[in-house]
A and B are shown apart, each in its own frame.
Chain A
């Protein structure tokens, strides 16, 4: 890699200037003449039949353009009243019944926001409450209330082609993995460990809440500006929902104020579209923070995990994973599948049995969240791994290192792992925290401990990214890509990749923001897939252009095309910079004119091989892996249970770093965010009602929660097919934070918390139970 000009350099972000001046374009800054604003009435009941809606008083208000109900949408010809990426189960507005407290029921579009909200207060809805189910384990029992009577597969994504129309059950998807002889291994085990772990519903809290603007242009084409991580999918979904040809829908996405998975698939777009179609006016809907909490969540997960130990090693593991996907499946089945198959861990375990269930409940829908469900399963398997190590007297680091998979070994799915720096990651983490050094003695009420955690995520496969690179006669280039810049630095990364390939400078590359009229299909901007997939597509497209340039130069200079390289805006003979041509000269030679462009398209489309539906075995279940390790040092106050994280080290194998500093930033950012998710974040529900759905009550990690010492460590195990060896980095830092902290807490005070978040109160309870008395605070406790 030594001869790379810009890949591998920690260049500054190309979008820094507009961002630091506040001028970056966001959907919320876009206004259209005559634009209407939306307010939505949401269900107060978690499950209820809609008996009657009286909207006449709202409609009578001057300035109100439309007051819309789901029943009206259901009657519209050629409109599918439901949408969704895995199942078409989510109504644009509730039809006949509501399925969670917060379900949109009536929408108003009016000339201003205040008026729209005034109008909502005039709408009366008569509900008949239905029995509801809030607990994922209860929802899988035959006696449970049913959230949906039928399940209708969506067929939107190749990797979800296998989801099936459901029976009378809340389980909308069941993934199975079977390998080896699990029963026998358990029968022959020296010891069996059985534990249950849970991880609560949480919210992504992108600082920019969802916002969508839709209008019809002069050709009556549907124009959509939306804060979305999946512009291509939004177009597909709107086309399917409204029967509009794809080329009559234009979806554009400017900068996103954060996404973290919240802004994937369709959210506000179907509703805003129908309001625009009805009113023939531009319509914008910006969610309030309170509505954001009622729109999409991180899956609550309960995992039962049993592990068999023989001669000090893990011989078998059984995992039952229950994903509470809420009222609508959203992307739950993908998560149940992709995260489900990793739930036994990155270890050599000969006998594995996994059942992963995606389950409906009458709660806010759950979807992807930085890590796509993998943090929840690692929470379970890595916590248990640590518990086992301690129980059998093994060193927790060694206990992980020994069975950790090596390059070339099969994962539980049978897939051979490649570019798999899990051992390096564990070692780096252990070293960074001085694992082998003796622990500090407790001082007063404070005890310190250290913890390590490890785990792995697999990238979504199959998936598709297309890119077009256009080279201009002055040597500058435009890159057409549907990857969304949401803070991860993709514009900079893509710019570096294309600049490197074409031998031009970063400033000479412009990344065109997603616009489905121009930028090719991309599955999603998520799952740490863009650097690899879009990076490869962009690089290949640039390589095609370079090849064309080289052909011209080779002919002109009478050299072999293979001897030519690109650099400093020229194509020249390797080792002889003066023997070459500029892009302008090449254009003149090729076209006889500078008034033209050279364009090339490329698609990156890694395939997966068939996965056996009964055993989950697949020759290739994923294109690449993200090994992660976190090390934490904590101080626990034994009188209050409060945890102070003193050190946090986030280690991730990102493949070759295109921009090392930005990889570090991704690791640390994800880790700090997950600190909050580990210690206090939880959406608290009471009988299906969210009780902390505002930032006054729902807390996320703040400046004050950041540990004194934080450190990212990038492990670079190059991937042979990655662009310049790169994989990705967006989620890796999130994966192993929670168990690292739980493990450190046990190290410090000897108690084990199995239910996230690890609040001070839970620790104090555990300490109290352990002591069998109230903790040294006097005899007056009742």
Chain B
């Protein structure tokens, strides 16, 4: 497997990268870590005359703590997120989700921006970022804009990014007080495999009851799913009755299809099992303090 010859363009600024992408249109593609892109180009499933190297732009791989959250540059590697003391401290669920991607070599190379822009339906990180209300900063020929992550995934391998537009960073708000979050990923085959599905959950408690529940899932629809309509859990105990309602709501919003890692039937079953497990885990953590 070889890659068809192309020119690697190495801009020194975002503006220059965007100009190059606009100038070459369909003939060009941005490359982050390249873990997905290079493989597809080796298989000759994709061919470009130009690759625009985002690694050559300084400053895009920063991970920084901000007053109300954390900002992760698009070129930060999965591994740097996984190991970042800032993220481990403030947003352990994000470190956990990135730590589950592929293997250590993939994580060492793959970028946060590339992961999100790739928009595969099974990726590990999106559910965790969705429950935290992450927001993307994008920059394109028409300037900069913010895109809430929940509006970012448009379809299988499709995002809200316009031609020539680049993902610049992801802003993740801090966790609300008295809340805990967890990401459970389930590999149905080899323990080393891509996930069959992933469930991210966040529970906020107040006065011994649930204040808020957020759920997001990967692998059970053409895009990652942030579950809507969970406000009824406010002030409830997460008992069996409420659990049944939660599961009913989720079941309505997912649209799994059979793939190598499980049939539609199995994915629906596992969604329920892992939502229960995620919530049970959080609830007991919160009760314990």
Contacts and interface: CB of A to CB of B under 8 A. Distances in A.
A114 B260 contact: no
Interface stretch (A135-143, A469-477, A512-520, A774-782): A774-782
B196 to A, nearest CB: 8
Interface string A106-126: 000000011001100100000
Interface string B1-27: 111110000000000000000000000
Interface in A663-702: 676, 679-680, 684, 691-692, 696-697, 699-702
B233 interface: no
B272 A778 contact: yes
Contacts of B212: none
A639 interface: yes
B93 to A, nearest CB: 21
Contact of A118 (B4, B39, B243, B270): B4
Interface in A730-782: 759-761, 764-765, 774-775, 777-782
Interface string B178-190: 0000000010111
B1 A761 contact: no
Contact of A761 (B3, B39, B188, B193): B188
Interface in B253-288: 260, 262-263, 266, 268-270, 272-273, 276
A31 interface: no
Interface stretch (B56-64, B158-166, B244-252): B244-252
Interface residues of B, number: 31
Nearest to B276: A777
A219 interface: no
A704 B270 contact: no
Contact of A701 (B186, B190, B248): B190
Nearest to B103: A702
B154 interface: no
Contacts of B5: 114
B191 A117 contact: no
Nearest to B189: A680
B44 A781 contact: no
A777 B1 CA distance: 46
Given A114-B3, A290-B1, A778-B247, A759 B188 contact: yes
A779 B244 contact: yes
Contacts of A781: 251, 268-269, 272
B217 to A, nearest CB: 15
Contact of B260 (A290, A692, A705, A778): A692
Interface residues of chain A: helix, strand, loop or mixed (majority): loop
A511 to B, nearest CB: 35
Given A117-B2, A676-B190, A705-B191, A764 B243 contact: no
Given A680-B189, A704-B191, A114 B251 contact: no
Interface in B64-87: none
A774 B270 CA distance: 11
A612 to B, nearest CB: 45
A761 B1 CA distance: 34
A760 B195 CA distance: 13
Interface centre among B1, B44, B263 (most CB of A within 10 A): B1
Given A640-B186, A778-B247, A705 B192 contact: yes
A703 B104 CA distance: 13
Q: Interface size bucket, A side?
A: 35 or more
B2 A113 contact: yes
8 contacts: A696-B194, A699-B190, A700-B190, A705-B192, A760-B266, A765-B266, A779-B244, A780-B272
Contacts of B244: 778-780
A782 B188 CA distance: 21
A764 B273 CA distance: 12
B243 A778 contact: yes
A780 B4 contact: no
A764 B2 contact: no
B177 to A, nearest CB: 31
Interface in A690-727: 691-692, 696-697, 699-705
Given A692-B260, A759-B188, A780-B272, 6 more contacts: A290-B43, A701-B190, A704-B191, A760-B188, A761-B266, A780-B248
Contacts of A117: 1-2, 4, 44
B222 to A, nearest CB: 18
A585 to B, nearest CB: 58
B269 A764 contact: yes
B190 A704 contact: yes
A288 interface: yes
A639 B248 CA distance: 18
Interface centre among B186, B192, B243, B251 (most CB of A within 10 A): B192
B81 to A, nearest CB: 21
A699 B270 contact: no
A642 interface: yes
Interface in A607-657: 639-640, 642
Contacts of B43: 290
Contacts of A642: 188
A642 B219 CA distance: 18
A286 to B, nearest CB: 10
Interface in A383-436: none
B277 to A, nearest CB: 8
Contacts of A764: 266, 269
A699 B193 CA distance: 7
Given A761-B263, A764-B269, A782-B251, A114 B2 contact: yes
A699 B189 contact: yes
Nearest to B244: A778
Contacts of A684: 260
A774 B266 CA distance: 11
A777 B5 CA distance: 53
A642 B273 CA distance: 12
For the complex of A and B, list the 4 residue pairs with the smallest distance between their C-beta atoms, beginning with the closest.
A680-B189, A699-B190, A704-B191, A702-B192
Interface in A576-634: none
A774 B269 contact: yes
A743 to B, nearest CB: 21
B276 A702 contact: no
Contacts of B1: 117, 288, 290
A290 B194 CA distance: 19
Contacts of A640: 186, 188, 270, 273
A210 to B, nearest CB: 15
A680 B248 contact: no
A702 B190 contact: yes
Nearest to A113: B2
Contacts of A639: 273
Contacts of B191: 702, 704-705
A612 B39 CA distance: 54
Contacts of B273: 639-640, 777
Nearest to A684: B260
Interface centre among B190, B192, B268 (most CB of A within 10 A): B190
B251 A780 contact: yes
A550 to B, nearest CB: 57
A691 B276 contact: no
Contacts of A759: 188-189
A696 B261 CA distance: 12
A780 B243 CA distance: 11
Contacts of A691: 260
Nearest to A694: B43
A290 B189 CA distance: 20
A781 B190 CA distance: 26
A627 to B, nearest CB: 30
Contacts of B276: 777
Contacts of A121: 44
B36 to A, nearest CB: 10
A642 B44 CA distance: 36
A287 to B, nearest CB: 10
Nearest to B270: A640
Contacts of B4: 114, 117-118
Interface centre among A117, A288, A692, A760 (most CB of B within 10 A): A760
Contacts of B190: 676, 679-680, 699-702, 704-705
Contacts of A692: 260
